[in-house]
């Protein structure tokens, strides 16, 4: 049930967050910096420990092909980072040769983030064993992450994203959640999937969520980092 509720909440973020005039209430550089600080805390205090846990899962796996990976969980995370980086570079590379509607540029971006959302939605099945506070903190971190993804995609594809892109990404989260409810992988395989996704999250944090120098509000950035780090350690 927590996974289902979280998936619906994240889908709603994609569907409607881009229509909320956040800048009318909070300056863009402040909320982007705060979200970047939260994301940084999430990467160091949640994703890295989870990768360590995934390493343990593979270490105790009896599957032969998984045993080969017992010391290489971080390579899987790196593979996820590299794959999503390449997809992003391909999308940006088509920009100079795009047609009038920029359809190829748009669809490569949407495909890569839809893949990310589907994997994310699938992994939400694992939330039942986590505390309520952990689920809330995860939702906050992912919601801010999706806010920034929406902001980035609308910057490149405002009209097609508002018309169809946001709904595809919202549906991808729900699709992954539905698959997770009907198909359960063994723990070691889930660890591999999570590690792959973790690499793409780290890429997005570094590429999109850490604000550039001219767009940074240091106080908001530090506030987001410290607040989220304290909350994660209170679980």
What is the residue-wise DSSP string for 69-128?
TTT-HHHHHHHHHHHHHHHHHHHHHGGGG--TT-HHHHHHHHHHHHHHHHHHHHHGGGGG
Q: Convert the pLDDT of each residue in 186-212 to its tens digit.
A: 777 777 788 888 888 888 777 766 656
DSSP character at residue 8? H
Q: How far does Cα 106 stand from its chain's mean position?
A: 19
Sign of the torsion angle spanned by Cα atoms 26, 228, 139, 88: positive
First vs last Cα of the chain: how many Å apart?
A: 20
In the chain, % helix, strand, coil (3-state, to 5) comes to 85, 0, 15
The fraction of the chain above a pLDDT of 70, given in percent, is 81
The answer to whether 29 touches 217, Cβ cutoff 8 Å, is yes
The answer to whether 44 touches 177, Cβ cutoff 8 Å, is no
On the CB side of 59, CA atoms within 13 Å amount to: 7
Q: How confident is the model at residue 18 (pLDDT cuts 50, 70, 90)?
A: low
Decide if pLDDT at 157 tops 50: yes
Comparing 32 with 110, the larger pLDDT belongs to 110
> pTM of this prediction?
0.81
pLDDT at 171: 95
Decide if pLDDT at 66 tops 80: no
Query: Look-up: residue for tokens 């270490």?
Result: 59
Q: How many angstroms separate the CA atoms of 40 and 37, rounded?
A: 5
Both structure tokens of 12: 């709603």
Q: How confident is the model at residue 107 (pLDDT cuts 50, 70, 90)?
A: confident
pLDDT at 101: 47
Decide if pLDDT at 174 tops 70: yes
Both structure tokens of 29: 């550089």
Both structure tokens of 47: 């994703």
62: helix, coil or strand?
coil
The answer to whether 207 touches 86, Cβ cutoff 8 Å, is no
- Residue 124's closest CA among 138, 113, 111, 110? 138
């Amino acid at each position: 049930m927590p996974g289902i509720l979280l998936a619906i909440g994240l889908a709603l973020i994609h569907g409607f967050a881009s229509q909320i005039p956040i800048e009318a209430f909070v300056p863009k550089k402040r909320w982007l910096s705060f979200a970047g600080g939260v994301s940084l805390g999430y990467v160091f205090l949640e994703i890295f420990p989870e990768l360590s846990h995934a390493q343990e899962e593979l270490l105790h796996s009896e599957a032969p092909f998984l045993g080969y990976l017992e010391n290489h969980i971080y390579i899987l995370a790196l593979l996820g980072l590299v794959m999503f980086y390449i997809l992003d570079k391909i999308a940006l590379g088509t920009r100079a040769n795009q047609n009038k509607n920029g359809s190829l540029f748009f669809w490569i971006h949407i495909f890569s983030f839809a893949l990310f959302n589907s994997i994310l939605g699938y992994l939400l099945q694992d939330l039942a064993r986590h505390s309520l506070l952990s689920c809330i903190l995860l939702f906050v971190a992912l919601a801010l992450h999706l806010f920034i993804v929406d902001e980035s995609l609308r910057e490149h594809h405002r009209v097609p994203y508002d018309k169809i892109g946001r709904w595809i990404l919202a549906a991808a989260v729900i699709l992954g959640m539905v698959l997770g409810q009907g198909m359960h992988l063994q723990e070691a395989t889930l660890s591999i999937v999570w590690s792959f996704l973790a690499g793409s999250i780290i890429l997005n944090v570094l590429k999109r969520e850490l604000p550039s120098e001219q767009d940074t509000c240091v106080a908001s950035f530090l506030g987001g980092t410290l607040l989220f780090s304290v909350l994660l350690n209170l679980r």
